[in-house]
Amino acid sequence: MKNVAVIGYGVVGSGTVELFEKNRESISHKVERDCDIKYIVDLRDFPDSPFADKMIKDFSVVLNDDEIEVVAEVIGGIEPAYTYTKQALERGKSVVTSNKELVANKGAELLKIAHENNCNYLFEASVGGGIPIIRPLNKCLAGNAIEQISGILNGTTNFILTKMIREQLDFDSALKLAQELGYAEKDPTADIEGHDACRKICILGSLAYGKHIYPQNVHCSGISAITLDDVAYAESAGYAIKLIGSVKPAENGRVSAIVCPRFVSKSNMLSTVDGVYNAISVTGDGVGDVLFYGQGAGKLPTASAVVGDIIDCLKHKNRSLMISWNDCDDENYIVKYKTVKTSIYVRINAENADELKASISEMFGKLTYIERKNRPDDELAFITPTMVESEIDVKLAELSHSARIESKIRLL
Ligand code: HSE
């Protein structure tokens, strides 16, 4: 049967078609019936593609074809992906996707539509590319209360930070290299400002805690302000700087979620995850700590997750796989990040900075000064004790009367 359609023939779409066609026989064997891709929908022309005979431009052909059971939406972005997904689900066709922006913004609604129409909306590829994390969280770890999830969820920023740490490239040069190698987009804002990682931690948090976490309610900061000086301080104090998305339960049924660069201790395995690789650490009250690691982006790794979802949908025709969470319009569901306890690395600039040490110590109580090679006289760096972030802000505001605050990075 020709029962699959792929919409979007970009990097992930072409990888999905390539992998599916390569392994079509074994996929048919797993599904216990013959399966094939019937349509590839894209507005562009691909006359030289070996799959040119499958190319169409009109999505309504897919919608109106009863043979199509599964649609792989790999267009990305909200529209037209949202409209197409809704239309397919309403016709009882399962949809699988790598589209984290759509899942993070419309997941609760689309999952509900899928459930009502006895089909499935699966999105393993939306977080961590080829790393299995959605299914493990939804199934294997379902018996646990999830105590925390934190991870390196963006390959582009991890590549840039790795180049800064290992080769002392400054941020702009590392970004340029990431673009030349095709990791970063031409407009890399969503990667470097943390929005991509934010969408992914929202998906994981929604799944783990059962209520939709919307990206606009999660504090998110990226890596563009990080300098080689910060990297040097981190290194000398036994940390690596990583962009981390994290989510955990808070008091009164709420959750705490944030995306920001962090000092990650060298004793934490996340500090050793380099290049475009991703890793996600999950702590459950039964299982303890588990770490998921692998290629978080790229054509075939992402296609691997998309094709896995297609197979699951084909195997469960007209049966809901029970993956869902509730919508949530309570703005207070996410605790205000400034009320959360944290410890922060601070780098300041002031004439004869060392002379400020006594007053800074008095301000914060027990704190740790850290060094770097060739630290100039007008620079000082320290790590605050763990305290509510807004209280740290008050003290830094006081300090800003006598020094310029150059950098603040939270510890993990
Ligand atoms: N831009 C993303 C990254 C692609 O760099 O991780 C995968 O979601």
- The tens-digit pLDDT sequence of the chain (412 residues) is 899 999 999 999 999 999 999 999 999 999 999 999 999 999 999 999 999 999 999 999 999 999 999 999 999 999 999 999 999 999 999 999 999 999 999 999 999 999 999 999 999 999 999 999 999 999 999 999 999 999 999 999 999 999 999 999 999 999 999 988 878 777 799 999 999 999 999 999 999 999 999 999 999 999 999 999 999 999 999 999 999 999 999 999 999 999 999 999 999 999 999 999 999 999 999 999 999 999 998 899 999 999 999 999 999 999 999 888 999 989 899 999 999 999 999 999 999 899 999 999 999 998 999 999 999 999 999 999 999 999 999 999 999 999 999 999 999 9
327-362 burial string, b = 16+ CB within 10 Å, else e?
A: ebeeeebbbebeebebbbbbbbebeebeebeeebee
| Ligand 1 pocket, residue 296 CB under 6 Å | yes
Q: How far apart are CA 122 and CA 31, in angstroms?
A: 17
Q: How far apart are CA 204 and CA 137, in angstroms?
A: 8
Which residue is catalytic, options 163, 200, 242, 248?
200
| Ligand 1 pocket, residue 129 CB under 6 Å | yes
| Element containing residue 121 per DSSP (H, E) | strand 121-122
Residue 346 pairs in a beta bridge with: 382, 408
| Ligand 1 pocket, residue 188 CB under 6 Å | no
| Ligand 1 pocket, residue 14 CB under 6 Å | no
The token pair at 216 is 């606009």
CA angle 150, 154, 155 (to 5 degrees): 125
- HSE at residue 154, side-chain half, CA atoms within 13 A, is 32
Q: How far apart are CA 221 and CA 154, in angstroms?
A: 13
80-102 burial string, b = 16+ CB within 10 Å, else e?
A: ebbebbbbbbebebbbbbbbbbb
Closest to 2 (Cα-Cα) out of 68, 55, 89 = 68
Nearest protein Cα to ligand 1, atom 7: 297
The per-residue pLDDT for 184 is 74
Ligand 1 atom index nearest CA of 302: 7
The per-residue pLDDT for 322 is 86
Neighbours of 220 (CB within 10 A): 22
Instruction: Ligand 1 pocket test: pick from 102, 191, 198, 304 the residue with the most ligand atoms within 8 Å of its Cβ.
Output: 191
Burial of 167 from C-beta contacts in 10 A (0-12 / 13-18 / 19+): exposed
The per-residue pLDDT for 59 is 98
Instruction: Specify the residue for token string 């705490």.
Output: 256
Q: Are 22 and 14 in contact (CB under 8 A)?
A: no
| Element containing residue 112 per DSSP (H, E) | helix 100-116
Q: How far apart are CA 148 and CA 129, in angstroms?
A: 21
| Ligand 1 pocket, residue 120 CB under 6 Å | no
Backbone angles phi and psi of 296, in degrees to 5? -85, 0
Enumerate residues 6+ apart whose C-beta is below 8 A from 53.
none
CA dihedral 396, 398, 399, 402 (to 10 degrees): 150
Backbone angles phi and psi of 266, in degrees to 5? -65, -15
Please state whether beta strands 344-349 and 288-295 pair in parallel, antiparallel, or not at all (unpaired): unpaired
Nearest protein Cα to ligand 1, atom 4: 297
What pTM was estimated for this model as a whole? 0.96
| Element containing residue 342 per DSSP (H, E) | strand 341-342
Backbone angles phi and psi of 290, in degrees to 5? -130, 150
Ligand 1 atom index nearest CA of 183: 5
226 C-alpha to ligand 1 centroid (Å): 20
Q: Is 200 a catalytic residue?
A: yes
